[in-house]
Amino acid sequence: MAKIIPYQSNRFQPIDYKRADDAIPAQPAGQLDLFNTQADQGIQLPLAQNTFELALKLDLHNDPSAERYYLKSIENHESTAHSLCNLGVIAAHKQKMALAIDFFTKALLEEPRHIESHFNLANVYFIAGNIPLSILHYKVVIQVAPDFKDVYFNLGLAYLEMEDFKSARMNLQHYKSLNPDKNLQSLNLILESLASIV
C-alpha cells in the first residue's frame, strides 16, 4: 500500500506574477541599433516607441524609475491596463498587497478580460489565503485564454489548499502536458502523492 504524505498548507508557492507584455521584440538580426538611450545605472536600452515601452524596458531591468514611466503612460492613455497591471506587479513584489489589488482591479476596469491582471489578482488572493477567490480568477483566465500555461499549475495548487485532490491532480497533469520539455521533478512528486489519494 502506498504511503500517504499529508499536504501541508503553504508548502508550495504559485508561479510568480506576470507583467503585461513581458515579451519585448528583439532587435532584428543584422540590424544595428543606432538610437540607444542610457538609463541611470548605465544600462543601454533601445529607444522606445512610447512611454509604456520605455517603462517596461526599465522594469525588466529592475530600474525603479519604471514606476514613474508607467504612471506617465497612464496619463498619456498609452496601454493603460498594461501599465496598471505592471504597477500592481511592482507593488506585490514590495509586499504592498492592498496597493497591488488596487492596481490590478483598476486594470480590470479598463479592460475586463485583461489576463495578466486576473492571474496576478488570483496570486495575491492565493498568497493572502483567500483560496476560493483565487480559484475564481484562475478560472476566468482559463475561460478567456485556455493556452495560458502557468494558470493550470497555480489552479492545481489552489485546489490542493482546498483539499480537492481530484481537481488538483487534473490541473497539475494538464500543466505537465503543456510543458513536456520542462524538468518538473517536484511536480512529479506531487502527482505521485495525489495518485495514491485519488
Overall average pLDDT of the 180-186 stretch:
76
Residue 127 lies in a domain: yes
Q: Could you tell me the pTM of the whole model? A: 0.78
Question: Confidence class of residue 4 from pLDDT cuts 50, 70 and 90?
Answer: low
pLDDT at site 132: 96
Domain range for residue 86?
40-137
Helix (H, G, I), strand (E, B) or coil at 194: helix
Of 137, 165, 185, at which residue does a domain stop? 137
Q: Measure the CA dihedral 90/95/97/99, to 10°.
A: -50
pLDDT at site 66: 95
In the chain, the number of structural domains is 2
User: Which cell numbers in the block locate residue 185?
Assistant: 521533478
- What is the rounded CA–CA span in Å between residue 43 and residue 37? 9
Residue 8 lies in a domain: no
Residue 98 lies in a domain: yes
Does residue 110 sit in the same domain as residue 161? no
Print burial letters for 25-52: b (CB count within 10 Å at least 16), e (below 16).
Answer: eeeeeeeeeeeeeeeeeeeebbebeebb
Residue 7 lies in a domain: no
- 84 pLDDT more than 90: yes
What is the crossing angle of helices 115-128 and 97-110, to 10°?
150
- 164 pLDDT more than 90: yes
For residue range 12-53, what is the model confidence (pLDDT) as tens digits?
Answer: 677 788 888 844 443 333 433 434 444 444 444 455 578 999
